[in-house]
Amino acid sequence: MRRAVCPGSFDPVTNGHVDVVSRAAALYDELVVAVLVNPGKAGLFTVDERIALLRDALVDVPNVVVDSFQGLLVDYCRSNDIPVIVKGLRAVSDFEYELQMAQMNRELAGVETLFVPTAPQVGHLSSSLVKQIATFGGDVSGLVPKAVHERLTAHREQGT
């Protein structure tokens, strides 16, 4: 079975993530979307909330599995027998750091990285920009899945 992992913080999932994950899922038998558990950095959403929002957003992509991981990504790949990491590239500015990580992950564990260029319509999206816009009452309804929009609105109304 051909498997790959698409890792990230997903705080929260955006339409850009959905684009990359859905297109990458078509290339593999199973695509694992793995949410990084980072004890040193509290996000807006808990890891459990991020996982639930990802599952909801990707419900129509049958070969996607959503999971979480802590520590090195290559250790997660080794433990789960996953030989490929999938990363979305929005712009040249993403490339330098992503290339460095791809080379390091290959050196550490022989894990390859596949870069998927995002669709141009979502190339400007990032979770942090979405959060910033939503915090100040901007309209993000066209940038994130419906459930994420609802949760962001709830956060703003609660002042969190």
Active site residue 141: no
User: Is 125 assigned to a binding site?
Assistant: yes
State the nearest-atom distance from the C-beta of 60 to ligand PNS, in Å.
22
Q: Which residues lie closer than 8 Å to 108 by C-beta, 6 or more apart?
A: 72, 74
**8 Å CB contact between 14 and 130:** yes
State the nearest-atom distance from the C-beta of 55 to ligand PNS, in Å.
17
State the nearest-atom distance from the C-beta of 8 to ligand PNS, in Å.
3
Residue of 50, 127, 131, 151 marked catalytic? 127
User: Is 98 assigned to a binding site?
Assistant: yes
Active site residue 68: no
- Structure token digits, residue 92: 């040249």
Whole-angstrom distance, CA of residue 54 vs CA of residue 40: 22
Nearer to ligand PNS, 28 or 76 (CB): 76
Q: Does residue 90 sit in helix, strand or coil?
A: coil
| Residue ranges at the known binding site for ATP | 9-10, 17, 88-90, 98, 122-128
